Amino acid sequence: MLKTSLNRFAVFGGDMRQVYLAECLAEKGYEVVVYGLCESCKHLKIREASSLEAALKYAEAVAAPVPFSKGLLLISEEELLKTLKPGTWFFSGGIPAGFCTQAEKKGIQCVDYLEDERVAMKNTLAAAEGILAEAIIRSPRNLFGSTCLVLGYGRCGRTLVSYLKGISCHVLVYEKQEKEAARAGIRADQVIRPGELAMALQESDFIFNTIPAMILPKALLGYVRREALILDMASAPGGVDYEACKEMGLSAALLPGLPGKYAPASSAEILAEKIERTL
């Protein structure tokens, strides 16, 4: 049974989250048109449009990719604004403020998934599980019993620390904010202060970055052991000097979009719940 008078959805672009989101909305009884998805939908009632303009023509609500920038692979911001009808609800993640301003002038209501605390917290589960999967794949060492340094104790950092403690890792947390550092002290084995970061890097088998700023420049990378693994889940361009890592022979990887890669179905359900909660 539909929970809103809006019935026609357009879903376009992005990763597997968009495929599962389209199918989830169709299962709920919405009329769904898709375009430019990375894979065909299996739900028989989903219609594939011949162009993005055709997909958006009759849509009352539009689900664009997460992040918003992935949608620009199919259409420019200017063209998207021209194509969207007044009165449309527009859902995406990381929507630029300028786009929202122009959309609102046209009578389009923008909803940013990532500004919703419930969505953000649930997404950290998929992100944490994804980065742990990457750690297992990329390292010849067990996570169990290893020393893990987590840079940052925000939403992602808190969830990641809980997972690491659950598999008996020795967890160090680097956090400059006093309030978050105090929280980290309850869950982690040790909270690292700014002057102690070099020593913590020397001790760590796995280094996980969640801070969206340059936290590991070349000078600090000199303290990282050659056999250690650096995994960066911060938004691009990340917080690690990757050129310096190559020069120094260190293993490091920037890993954006983990929820879409490792748990697209669960992530899509979170987005669908946010859509229905909003409408």
In tens, the pLDDT along 51-99 reads 999 999 999 999 999 999 999 999 999 999 999 999 999 999 999 999 9
Looking at the structure, do residues 131 and 85 belong to the same domain, yes or no? Answer: no
Alpha carbon distance 214, 30 (integer Å): 44
Question: Does 148 share its domain with 242?
Answer: yes
Task: Report the sign of the C-alpha dihedral through residues 49, 50, 52, 57, in that order.
Answer: negative
One domain, residues 86 and 150: no
Mean pLDDT of the region 139-163: 97
Examine residue 100 and state whether it is found in any structural domain, yes or no: yes
* The pLDDT of residue 5 is above 70: no
Q: Are residues 155 and 37 in the same domain?
A: no
The pLDDT value given to residue 235: 84
Examine the pLDDT at 194 and tell me if it is beyond 90: no
Report the domain count for the chain.
Answer: 2
Q: For residue 13, what are its two tokens? A: 């672009």
User: Given this model, what pLDDT does residue 125 score?
Assistant: 95
Provide the 10 A C-beta neighbour count for residue 177: 12
Confidence band (pLDDT; 50, 70, 90) for 224?
Answer: very high
Q: How far apart are the first and last CA of the chain?
A: 14
Residue type, 143: L
Structure token digits, residue 78: 């200017």
Model confidence, pTM: 0.87
How far is C-alpha 217 from the chain's CA centre? 23
Tokens 């987590």 locate to 150
Tens-digit pLDDT profile for residues 48-62: 999 999 999 999 999
Assess whether 137 and 256 both reside in one domain: yes
The boundaries of the domain holding residue 56 are 8-115
Reported confidence tier of residue 3, pLDDT bands at 50, 70, 90: very low
211-235 average pLDDT score: 96
Please state the length of the chain. Answer: 279
Does residue 174 contact residue 262 with C-beta atoms inside 8 Å?
no
Cβ atoms 145, 168 nearer than 8 A? yes
